[in-house]
């Protein structure tokens, strides 16, 4: 199966710093583009909520939740449906500060849920009038790099 891609390549985020002795150092809210490798579905938009804490020097932990706000919609053999997607993740982070620019690689685990009445794994074998839906819950590894500029 070609997995769902929840890309934050063009994420618009609002981040606020918390007080120094708090449980969490920062909170971010953003929008992300969602795409699935299927010609039957268009792109969707997701709400992303992130929170993180620094523990030792530039090392830290980050938690993130993602949920569809504009679902990926598609049609196959006359069946119209959308993909319901959400995920939660926990990451180890490291932040390189380069003046006002910060680079933050992260690696961790993610749990996601993908549901649709259309089989997104192999829609070419779907039979008209028969709902061979998708219901996938998975736990896996996730990695990425973020860039931030302090205004």
Instruction: Give, as one character, the DSSP assignment of residue 125.
Output: G
User: Which residue did the predictor score with more confidence, 92 or 1?
Assistant: 92
pLDDT for the residue 134: 76
- Using the predicted structure, report yes or no on whether residue 24 has a pLDDT greater than 60: yes
Residue 150 is predicted with a pLDDT of 78
What confidence score (pLDDT) does residue 131 get? Answer: 54
- pLDDT of res. 14: 52
**At a CB cut-off of 8 Å and minimum separation 6, what does 113 contact?**
84, 85, 86, 87, 136, 137
Tell me the C-alpha to C-alpha distance, in Å, between residue 144 and each of 103, 117, 141: 11, 30, 11
pLDDT tens-digit map of 35-60 = 777 777 788 889 999 999 988 889 99
Q: What is the pTM of this model?
A: 0.73
């Amino acid at each position: 199966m070609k997995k769902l891609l929840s890309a934050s390549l063009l994420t618009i985020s609002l981040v606020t710093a918390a007080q120094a002795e708090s449980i969490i150092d920062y909170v971010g809210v953003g929008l992300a583009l969602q795409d699935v490798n299927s010609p039957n579905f268009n792109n969707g938009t997701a709400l992303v909520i992130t929170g993180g804490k620094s523990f030792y020097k530039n090392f830290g932990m980050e938690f993130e939740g993602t949920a569809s706000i504009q679902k990926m919609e598609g049609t196959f053999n006359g069946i119209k449906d959308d993909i319901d997607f959400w995920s939660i993740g926990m990451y180890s982070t490291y932040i390189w500060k380069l003046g006002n620019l910060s680079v933050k690689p992260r690696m961790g685990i993610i749990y996601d849920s993908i549901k649709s009445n259309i089989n997104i794994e192999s829609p070419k074998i779907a039979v008209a009038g028969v709902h061979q839906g998708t219901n996938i819950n998975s736990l896996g590894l996730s990695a990425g790099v973020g860039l931030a500029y302090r205004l």
